[in-house]
Structures are given as structure tokens and as C-alpha cells.
Amino acid sequence: MREVARLLATLQAGDPHAAERLLPEVYGELRRIAARMMAAEPPGRTLQSTALVHEAWLRLTAGREQRWENRAHFFGAAAEAMRRILVERARRRAALRHGGGQTRVDVDEIEIAVSVPDDELLGLHEALDKLAALDPRKAELVKLRYFTGLEVAAAAELLGISEATAHRDWQHARAWLQCEIHGG
């Protein structure tokens, strides 16, 4: 115990080799602290207590000048470092479960349900605006089918109409749009 206090003092005094001599003296106690903390982790964890000790040791000794008053202060700091490591890992796992692993994409790179050249898409947009002025429900049906790729039954359900009505509206809207776009 006195050796740990002495090594902490020499580490704080700037001895570059004190950390190398300190680790073997405190390693067993750090492993016991890590084992207690890891006992609360769910089964199948990928982080082992040895890795937790090593990561905490790196945080405790990396680059920053630390001032530990005594042995208890050092082990308290070590326990806090381990706790933070476990919290960070839990946050990363939670983020992945809630979409954190998704990659961001540019809106221009998103594929719509039907791929069409830009000029045809603009023509369809103008024709849909005209159809919406004449029959908003049919225009909405076209948007649901054409742009989101929904089947007739799913689109009918969303619009609150029967499937038979949706089929009739779809046939009529397609014919109307064909005439409007291609002048037929």
C-alpha cells in the first residue's frame, strides 16, 4: 500500500518510468474493480474486464497531468474512468439499436419507386397538379402508387376507399395522365 502512494508521488513529480512501475502494483485491484463493474453487464458482452482495465489505465495515464492525493483517490479515479467507458459503450449500443448505424444519404441520391428521366418527371408533376385540381383523391392515389410504390390495396387503405374504387380510380388516372402528358 505504501508502495502505491510512493509511486503515485513519483509519477506526479514527473518520473517517466513511474507509470510502468505503478501498473503491476495496482493491476490486481483494478481487475477486481473491473470485475465488479462487469458483473452488471449483460451476458455475451464483448468487453472483458482485462480490456476495461487497460482502457481505463490509458485514460488515467495518457498525456494529461494527473494529481492523485492518495491511493484511494487514484482508485476512485480509476473506477470513474471504467464507469465512463461502460456508459459510452452502452450509449453506442443504444444508438445503433435506434438507427445510429444508418448512413446519411444526399436527398438527390435517393431512388424513387419508379425511375424516370427528369423531363418526364417534370411533365408528370405538372399533369398531377392539373389532376389534383380536378380530382384530389385520384392525384393522391397516383402519388401513393407511382412515387412510393404502394400496391393498390395499401393505397386504398391509406385513402380510406375500397380496393375496387382504388382500381377504378387508378385506371382512370393513368389514362388521364397518359393523355395529358403525351397529348393523346
**Between 114 and 80, where is the model more confident?**
80
Q: Are residues 49 and 71 in the same domain?
A: yes
Looking at residue 179, what is its pLDDT? Answer: 87
Question: Which cell is 155 given?
Answer: 393505397
pLDDT of 147: 67
Contact of 130 with 180, CB cutoff 8 Å? yes
* Alpha-carbon span 68 to 10, nearest angstrom: 11
Pick from 68, 100, 132: which residue ends a domain?
100
Handedness of CA 39, 43, 49, 54 (dihedral sign): negative
Percentage of the chain beyond pLDDT 90 is: 12
> pTM score, two decimals?
0.49
Higher-confidence residue of 142 and 168: namely 168
Burial of residue 78, with CB atoms counted within 10 A of its CB: 0-12 exposed, 13-18 middle, 19 or more buried? buried
Each residue's pLDDT tens digit, 91-148: 777 776 666 555 554 544 444 444 445 556 677 778 888 999 999 999 888 888 876 6
Same domain, 133 and 61: no
| 6 and 93 in a common domain | yes
**Could you identify the residue written with the cell 472483458?**
48
Kindly provide the b/e burial profile for residues 95-120, where b requires at least 16 CB atoms within 10 angstroms of the residue's own CB. Answer: eeeeeeeeeeeeeeeeeeeeeeeeee
pLDDT at 119: 58
**pLDDT tens per residue across span 5-28:** 888 888 777 777 888 888 888 888
**Residues 86, 9 within the same domain:** yes
Domain limit, last residue, from 73, 100, 127: 100
- Residue 132 has φ and ψ, to the nearest 5°, of -60, -35
Q: Are residues 61 and 129 in the same domain?
A: no
For cell 456508459, name the residue.
87
Domain co-membership, 73 together with 150 = no
Do 69 and 144 lie in one domain? The reply is no
Do 21 and 93 fall within a single domain?
A: yes
pLDDT of 157 > 90? The answer is no
Question: What average pLDDT is seen over the chain?
Answer: 78
The residue among 130 and 71 whose pLDDT is bigger is: 130
- pLDDT for the residue 50: 86
The total of structural domains in the chain comes to: 2
Tell whether 11 and 70 lie within a shared domain. yes
CB-based contact 66:56 (threshold 8 Å)? no
More confident call, 29 vs 39: 29
Do 50 and 20 lie in a common domain?
Answer: yes
- Domain boundary pick from 81, 100, 119: 100
Regarding whether 135 and 82 lie in a shared domain, the answer is no
Let me know whether 77 and 147 are in one domain.
no
Residue 126: domain span: 109-182
Question: Among 22-36, 65-79, 85-99, which is the least confidently predicted range?
Answer: 85-99
- pLDDT at residue 40 in the model: 63
